[in-house]
Structure 1
Amino acid sequence: MTDQIESACRQTTQQPGNTLSNHLPPESDHSLHQLRIKLSSTDALPQLTAIGMLIGLLAGGLLILFREIVTGSTSFWLPRGDEHFETLSELSRFIIPVIGSLAIFCLFACTPVKRRSVGILHVVERLQFHKGKMSFSGMMLQFFGAIIALISGFSVGREGPAVHVGATTGSLLGQKLRLPQNTLSILAACGAAAAISASFNTPMAGVIFAMEVVLRQYTLNSFIPVIAAAVMAAVLSQIMYGPDPAFMVPVIPMASLPELGIAAVSACLIGVLAAGFIKLQLWTASKRQKLLINPLFLAGICMGAVGYFLPAVMGIGYDTIELILNGELMSVSFLLTLLAAKLVTTALVTGLGIPGGIIGPSLMMGALSGAAFGHLGDLMLRLPDVSSAFHALLGMVAMMAAVLQAPMAALVTVLELTRNPHIIMPAMFVIVIACLVAGRLTAQGGLIEMQLNAKGYDNRHSLLNQLLSQKGIATIMSRNFDLLNDTDIVPVPVHASLQDALEIMESHSVEVLGVYTSGRRHQVLCGVITRQAIDSFYR
C-alpha cells in the first residue's frame, strides 16, 4: 500500500481551477513527508513503535519532574514525607487547603474556559469525540493545578493528572509533526501508559489501563507502541527510584475457603460503596455551577475542616495503605470512620473541581474497607492467623475495579504490586463481585462513562465515528484520478482520517475528494477518496 501511495504522489493530474501542483515536497521535507504517508496506511507499526518509545521517555521525564516538585515542595512543612499531614498543627491543616484552593482558583482564572477540563475524563473525551487533539494550555493547568492540590493536602491522587499530562505529551508530539489524525489516539494512549507505568513502577498495568480505560480497544497496531512507551517510562522511573513498586507488600499466603467467603461479602459491600462514591461525585459536580460560593474555595473549606479533625484523610493516602498492608491494623471503628470521611471528602473535592485524580484515594478506600470488613468477618468466624494485608489488598483491587469498571487494569495492577501469583484467583473473585454490584447499582457503568453521559455524550452513537477516526484515508484512497473528471477539486490532507473526509464531503455536498500532502510551497495530489469507498469500508 505504501509503495502505491508514494507512486501516486508522483502521478498528479492538474485540473482547471485546482490549486494542487505536481511538484514534490522539497528535499528537506521529504523524510517527514514519507513518514506521514506511511503512518496514514496500515503497515506503520515499526514507525509507531519508535514514536511510542520517544513519548515514553518524554512523558516519563515529565512525571518524574512532577513527582519531584511535589515531594520537594511538601518537604518544607512535612519533614517525615509528603503524606504525613498529621505532623502539622490543627490550624495549619485547616489553612493550607484553603490557601491552596485560592491558588488553584487564580490558576483557573488565567486559563480560557474551554481549556479548563482536566483529568482522565478529559483524556477519554478528547480521544473518543475530538480525534485525540489535546492542548498545551490544558496540560499546564493540570500539571500545576495538581501540584498545588497535592501539596495542599487535598484528598486527590496523582495518577489522574499524570494520565492527562502523559496523554497530552503524545497528542502534542503528533500534532507538532502533523502526523495522521488516526494516530493521535494511539500516541495519546502511549503517554497515558507511560504515566501509570512511571507512577506505580507497573508497566504492564500502564498498558492495560491505557487500552481498557483510555483507548478502550485492543489492537496490535496500538498494543505494541503502548507497550514500548510503558517500558521506556518504567526504565526512567527505576533509574530514579529503584525497582520497587509503589507499595511494599508482604508475602501473602493462599487463602482458605472461609476467608474467600469473607472476601465475597466484603466485595459486595465495596461494590455498594463504589456506587455511592460515583453517585455522590456526580451529584456534587451537577450542583457546582449553582453554588453561591466559588466551588474551589468551598472545596478548600471542606478539606480544611476534615483535615482539622482527621489528618489521615489528607493527601493520597499511601502512608495509611502502607501501615495496613504491613499489619499495623487500626481499630475497626477508626477504619470505618476514616473510610467514610475519605469517601465523602474525595467525592466532594473532585466534584467541586479540584484538579486531581481518584485512583490513589480509591485504593485507600479499598484498603480501609477490606481491612475493616475482613477483620469483622474474621472475628465472627474466629479464624486463626488471618492476614489483614490479604483483605486490605483485595479491597484495594475491588474498589479500583468497581469505581472505574476496569477489571483487567485492576487485576494487573495488584499482580504487579504484590508480585505474588497466589493473589490472582482471590483478586479475580472479588473483582467480579464488586464490578457486578457497582454496575447494577449505577446502571450506566463506571465513573468515567457516567461523567461522559452527564456531559451529554452518548458512547453508543460514537462507535462508528471512532472506527472512522482510527483509520487514515491513505488506507483506502485510490490512484484513479479520472474520478475527478474536469471539476474543481475539494481537497483533504493525507493525514486526515476517514471521519474527516466524510465531514468534508457532507459540508461541500460532494462524493469525491482529492487527497494531498503539503510541501513548503505546493500541495501535491496523491490520490482520491470517494464516499462509496468509505461506505464499503465500514459496511
Structure 2
Amino acid sequence: MTRGSFDRAGAAAFLTLAVLVGILVGFSSALLIWSIDLVEDGVAELAEALSLGDAVFLISVPIGILVAFLIARRFAPEAEGDGVPAAMAALVVRGGRLRLRSWFTKIAATAATLGAGGSAGREGPIVQIGATVGSVAGRYTKQGEDKMRSLVAAGAGAGIGASFNAPIAGMLFAMEVILGNFGLRHLNVVVITSVSAAVTSRLLVGEEQLLQAASHSLEDPRELLLYAVLGLAAAVAAFLLLRLLSLTEGAKIPGPVWIRPIGIGVAVGALGLIYPEVLGTGQQFIGDLLSGVGEPATYMWYTLLAIAGLKILATGLTLGARGSGGAFMPSLFIGAALGAGIAHIVDGSWTVSTLEPSAFAIVGMAATFAAVARAPLTSILIVFEITGDYGLVLPLMLAGTLATFLADRMHSLSAYTMPLARAGIKLTRRGEVDLLDTVQVRDVMTRNLTSVAPDQTLDEIHALLDRERHHGLPVLEGGALVGIITLADIQRADEIPDATVADAMTPRPATVTPMSPVSLAIERMAALGVGRLPVVDDEDPTRLVGVFRRVGAVNAYHQALSASTEHELSLERLRLRTDPGARFFDFRIPRQSMADGRLVKETVWPEGLTLVSVQRGRVVMVPTGNLELVEGDVVTAFGTGAARERTIERLNATGVDDTAEIPEQPSGQPAND
C-alpha cells in the first residue's frame, strides 16, 4: 500500500498495519536479545583473556553504562533510563510521536548497559522500542492521533508479549500501564499486535530465552496466610526499590558528566563480586528458581534474601547512573528470591502441607512487580501465561492485590510515573466515557490567532500580548510552527540583553490536532501545566491551524453539557412515550403555589413529567423554560399516574387553595374545563 492509503482503506487495512507493527516489534525484541548476548560474549572473552574472573565487572559495568549514557545523550536523550515512561510521555504530551532515532539508540544503549553487567531488565527498553515502531508506522501511513495512540500502545504491549511469549499479558500491560484505561476502541489493534510480536520473537530466539515454570497448586487454604505475608514483604521490597530509584535518579553529582556513570558503575561492579547473580538481567537466576533446578534452587534462605537486597541496590544504582534498562525484570528477580527465601524460612515449622519454594517464587515475583508498576492484572496474567496453569490463582490475586494496596500507601508513585513527575508531567487518567470526549478541538479552538517570528524582540512581544490580552502566542518561521512564547518565558529571559523570541520561546511545543477530543487536550494541558496548546494539521505537524486555550475548554464543557442534557431529555421523552402507565392529563396552578409567578425552568417538577401546553384563558402557549406561570393557568402534561399525583400534591401543599386537581374522564382523556 502507498503512503497514507491505510487510513483510507478502513479497518481491515489498519489491522493489517497492526500485524506488521507486531512483526517488527518481535524482530526488534530478538535484535535486542542478540545485541545483549554479543556484548556479554565480549565481556566473557575479556575476562578470560586477562584472567580477571568476576573482577572484570569492575571494568565492564562502568564502561558499559558510560557508553550507554553518551549514546543517549548524543542521539536521543529519551533513550536514557527505563523506557516505559518515555512511551507514556509520548502519548500524554506528544500525541504518540516518537523519533525513529530512539529505536537505534535504545537498542545500542541497552545492549551496552545490560551486556556489560548493569543490573536492569530489557523489558522496559523493548516497550519504548515497540512504541517507537508503532509511532513511526502511524506517522508513515498518516494515521490520525487516536489511531496513532492505539499503535503506540499496541507496540509497547507487543514488547512485553514478545519478551515473555505472553501476548495477553502484553495487551493488559498496554491498557493498564501505557494507556491507563481499557477503552474498547484500542483493544483489537493491541491484541493483534501483541500476538504477532510474541509469535515472531519466539520463532527468532526460540523458547530457551523465555521464562518458563512448572505448574503448581494451592494444597491447603491455610497456605493463603503465608502468601499474605509474602504480599506484605513484596510491598516492602517494592518500597525500598522505588525509594532508592527516587534518590539515585534525582541526585545531583558534581563534577564532569562522566563521573556519574563511572563512579556508580564501579559500585555496581563491586556488588557483582559478592553475588554475580545480581548483575545483568538475572533471567537465568529466575528461571532456575521457577524450575527448581540449578544452583539457585539450593541456596539457603539468608542467601536468597541477601541476593534480593543486593539486587535492589544494584538496580537503583544502575538506573541512577543513567544506564539504559528497565525495572520490570529486576522486580521479578527480587520477588522470586524473596518468595523462595520466605518458603525456606517457614518450611521447617510448617506442618500443614508441603511448601514449594518455586511456587512462592512465582507468586513473589508477580506481587513485587504489581507493587512496583501498580499493575496487578498484568502481573497475574504474565504468571498464568508463563506457567500455563491457574492453580495459583488465589495466592496470586491475594498477594498481588495486597502488595499493590500497601505499596500505593507507602509510595504514591510507581517506577514508571516517578520519572514523569520529575519532568513535571502529571498523569490524569480519563474514564472510558468522558463528557468532553463528545467535543472535538476544532469546534472550540481559536482561529486566525496572531503569530510572531523568532527574530522579534521580547519588548515587541510583551507589548503585543498586552494589546491583544493574551498570555502566549505561537512562533512561526517560514510558515512552520517552531515554538510558543508566553509571558512566563519573557519574564525568565529578563536578564538576557537584547533577547529575541528565539532566546526565550519554548521550542517544539506539545500540540493537538483538530480532530482530537477536547478531553485529550485538557489532559495534555494538565500534564504539562500549560494554559494553551497549538493546534496543528493532522498530516503536517508544523502547519498551525489554531490554538486551544482554557476558554476553549470552558466553551467545550458548556457545548457538551448542552448536548448531553438534550440527549437525556430526549431519552426521558422516549421513556415516557413508551411507558405503559403514561398518559395525558391536566392540572391547575393554585394561588401562591410553588409554580405561581415562577418560570417553568425554575419550578421543580416531579420525575416522569413532561409539560405539553399551558392554557391561559383562551390563549394556548408552548411551555418554554422562560414562560412564567400564574394562578389559574391550566397545564396539559404527559406522564405517569404517580407523576400526576405528586404534581397535584405539591401544588396543593404549597398553594392557598386545593385547586390543582382537574378530574379525568373515565376514558383517561382530560376533562374540558
Structure 1: where are the runs of 5+ without partners?
1-27, 39-43, 80-86, 479-483, 485-489, 524-529
Partner of residue 37 from structure 2, selected from 71, 81, 100: 71
Give 1:10's aligned residue. none
Partner of residue 357 from structure 1, selected from 323, 326, 342: 326
CA offsets per residue over residues 416-451 of structure 1, 9 Å max, x none?
011111111211111111111111111x24222233
Partner of residue 454 from structure 1, selected from 414, 418, 422: 422
Pairwise CA distance, 1:174: 1.3
Q: Do the aligned partners of 1:201 and 1:245 also contact (CA within 8 Å) in 2? A: no
TM-score (norm 2): 0.63
Q: Do the aligned partners of 1:33 and 1:517 also contact (CA within 8 Å) in 2? A: no
Give 2:370's aligned residue. 401
Partner of residue 234 from structure 1, selected from 195, 198, 206: 198
AA aligned opposite 1:459: L
Q: Does 1:211 align with 2:175?
A: yes
Counterpart of 2:392 in 1: which secondary structure?
helix
Partner of residue 275 from structure 1, selected from 239, 243, 250: 239
Give 1:375's aligned residue. 344
Q: Do the aligned partners of 1:45 and 1:221 also contact (CA within 8 Å) in 2? A: no
Q: Does 1:310 align with 2:275?
A: yes
1:325/1:341 Cα in 2 relative to 1: closer, same or farther (>3 Å)?
same
Pairwise CA distance, 1:313: 0.9
User: In structure 2, how many angstroms separate the alpha carbons of the residues matched to 1:214 and 1:376?
Assistant: 37
Pairwise CA distance, 1:222: 0.3
User: In structure 1, how many angstroms separate the alpha carbons of the residues matched to 2:521 and 2:91?
Assistant: 18
Q: Does 1:58 align with 2:24?
A: yes
Aligned-pair identity in percent equals 25
Q: Do the aligned partners of 1:404 and 1:447 also contact (CA within 8 Å) in 2? A: yes
Q: Do the aligned partners of 1:37 and 1:495 also contact (CA within 8 Å) in 2? A: no
Q: Do the aligned partners of 2:5 and 2:141 also contact (CA within 8 Å) in 1? A: no
Q: Do the aligned partners of 1:118 and 1:138 also contact (CA within 8 Å) in 2? A: no
Pairwise CA distance, 1:36: 4.2
User: In structure 1, how many angstroms separate the alpha carbons of the residues matched to 2:557 and 2:15?
Assistant: 27
Higher relative contact order (CA 8 A, sep 6+): 1
1:219/1:98 Cα in 2 relative to 1: closer, same or farther (>3 Å)?
same
Q: Does 1:332 align with 2:298?
A: no
Pairwise CA distance, 1:241: 3.9
Q: Do the aligned partners of 1:104 and 1:148 also contact (CA within 8 Å) in 2? A: yes
CA offsets per residue over residues 382-418 of structure 1, 9 Å max, x none?
4553211111111011001010010100010010011
Q: Does 1:177 align with 2:141?
A: yes
Pairwise CA distance, 1:248: 2.6
Pairwise CA distance, 1:261: 1.1
1:302/1:294 Cα in 2 relative to 1: closer, same or farther (>3 Å)?
same
Pairwise CA distance, 1:134: 0.9
Report the aligned-residue RMSD. 3.8
AA aligned opposite 2:516: S
User: In structure 1, how many angstroms separate the alpha carbons of the residues matched to 2:533 and 2:133?
Assistant: 34
Q: Does 1:434 align with 2:434?
A: no
Q: Does 1:497 align with 2:522?
A: no
Q: Do the aligned partners of 1:50 and 1:225 also contact (CA within 8 Å) in 2? A: no
Give 2:559's aligned residue. 536
Does 451-460 or 139-148 show the bigger shift?
451-460
Which structure carries more helix by proportion?
A: 1
CA offsets per residue over residues 285-326 of structure 1, 9 Å max, x none?
111455776322223112111112221111111121122223
Structure 2: where are the runs of 5+ without partners?
46-50, 448-478, 481-510, 526-530, 546-551, 565-673
Residue-pair matches, total: 473
Q: Do the aligned partners of 1:323 and 1:329 also contact (CA within 8 Å) in 2? A: no
CA offsets per residue over residues 132-175 of structure 1, 9 Å max, x none?
11112233221110011111011110000100000011011112
Give 1:412's aligned residue. 381
User: In structure 2, how many angstroms separate the alpha carbons of the residues matched to 1:514 and 1:134?
Assistant: 17
Q: Does 1:48 align with 2:20?
A: no
Does 68-77 or 368-377 show the bigger shift?
68-77
CA offsets per residue over residues 444-471 of structure 1, 9 Å max, x none?
24222233223222223x759x979989
Pairwise CA distance, 1:46: 3.6
1:536/1:245 Cα in 2 relative to 1: closer, same or farther (>3 Å)?
farther
Partner of residue 153 from structure 2, selected from 189, 192, 201: 189
1:507/1:363 Cα in 2 relative to 1: closer, same or farther (>3 Å)?
closer
Pairwise CA distance, 1:127: 0.9
1:463/1:363 Cα in 2 relative to 1: closer, same or farther (>3 Å)?
same
Pairwise CA distance, 1:516: 8.7
AA aligned opposite 2:417: E
Counterpart of 2:334 in 1: which secondary structure?
helix
Does 401-410 or 344-353 show the bigger shift?
344-353
Give 1:25's aligned residue. none
Pairwise CA distance, 1:49: 2.0
Q: Larger Rg: 1 or 2?
A: 2
User: In structure 1, how many angstroms separate the alpha carbons of the residues matched to 2:82 and 2:308?
Assistant: 26
